[in-house]
Structure 1
Amino acid sequence: MKRKEAREKAVQTLFQLDNTEMTIEDAIPYITDTDRPIDPFYESLVKGTTEHRDEIDATLAEKLENWSLDRLPKIERTVLRLAVYELLHHEDVPHRVVLNEAIELCKQFGDEKSGRFVNGVLSKFEEK
Structure 2
Amino acid sequence: MSSRRKSREAALKILYQAEFSPNENIGEKAAEYFRENLSDADQREFAEILVEGVTERKTEIDERLGKALKNWELSRLGYIERAILRLGAFEIIYQPVTPDKVAINEAIELAKTFCQGESASLINGALDYTMKEKKRNGQEDKSGNDSEEAP
TM-score by length of 2: 0.77
Count of aligned positions: 128
Q: Which is worse superposed, 34-43 or 7-16?
A: 34-43
Query: How large is the Cα RMSD of the aligned pairs?
Result: 2.0
Asked if the contact 1:4/1:101 (under 8 Å) is kept, the reply is: yes
CA distance, structure 2, for counterparts of residue 113 and residue 33 of structure 1: 33
Query: Residue by residue, what CA displacement relative to the aligned partner does 1:35-83 show, whole Å, maximum 9, x if unpaired?
Result: 9657111100000000000110011111111111111111111100000
Taking the TM superposition and a 5 Å limit, the aligned residue runs for 1:53-68 are: 53-68=58-73
Residue identity in the other structure for 2:126:
V
Where structure 2 has 5 or more consecutive residues not aligned to the other structure, the ranges are 136-140, 142-151
- Alignment partner of 1:24 out of 10, 23, 26: 26
Q: What amino acid sits opposite 2:66 in the alignment?
A: A
Tell me whether 1:76 sits opposite 2:90 in the alignment: no
Q: In the alignment, is the contact (CA less than 8 A) between 2:111 and 2:119 conserved in 1?
A: yes
- Aligned to 1:18, what secondary structure does the other structure show? helix
Equivalent in 88, 105, 128 of residue 123 of structure 1: 128
Distance in 2 (alpha carbons) for counterparts of 1:40 and 1:32: 9
Q: Which protein is bigger by CA-based radius of gyration? A: 2
**Any residues of structure 2 matched to 1:102-113 within 5 Å, and which?**
102-113=107-118
Moved more, 58-67 or 22-31: 22-31
- What letter is aligned with 1:98? A
Deviating above 6 A after TM superposition, structure 1's stretches of 4 or more consecutive aligned residues are: none
Q: Which has the larger displacement, 109-118 or 29-38?
A: 29-38
Percent identical among aligned pairs is 35
Q: Report how far residue 19 of structure 1 moved.
A: 4.1
Quick check: 1:106–1:112 contact (8 Å CA) kept in 2?
A: no
- TM-score, normalisation: structure 1: 0.89
Shift of 1:120: 1.2
The equivalent of 1:98 in structure 2 is 103
